[in-house]
Amino acid sequence: MFRISINDKSFSCSEDNNLLKAARSQMVKVPYGCASGGCGMCKVKVLQGDYRMDMYSKQALTNQERENQQILLCKTYPLSHLEINLMKERVK
């Protein structure tokens, strides 16, 4: 299990669970829309840590955003503890 810190909140996530599902299951409010890598609502910036990402829409996350350490919570799996910064104010 890895510790995921998002702004002033934290939750745990295994490497076989995506960050969005883990956050929601532990009642941590994060922004999301389609939850399948197509809309970009769950886009955040990784400040520290390692991760892997599944396939996603290039419209939801551009190559430049990816190079700037931005990820989609719904398509990202932790490989270490992560420190993340929310980029959107809306949460569900």
Percentages of the chain per state (helix, strand, coil), in multiples of 5: 15, 35, 50
Question: CB of 84 within 8 A of CB of 3?
Answer: no
d(CA 45, CA 50): 12
Which segments of the chain does DSSP mark as H helices, in order? 19-25, 63-67
pLDDT computed for residue 90 by the predictor: 43
Per-10-residue mean pLDDT of the chain, 92 residues long, equals 95 98 96 95 97 96 96 98 80 44
Ordered structural domains, the chain, with CATH: 2-86 (3.10.20.30)
Question: CB of 57 within 8 A of CB of 7?
Answer: no
pTM exceeding the 0.85 threshold for the entire prediction: yes
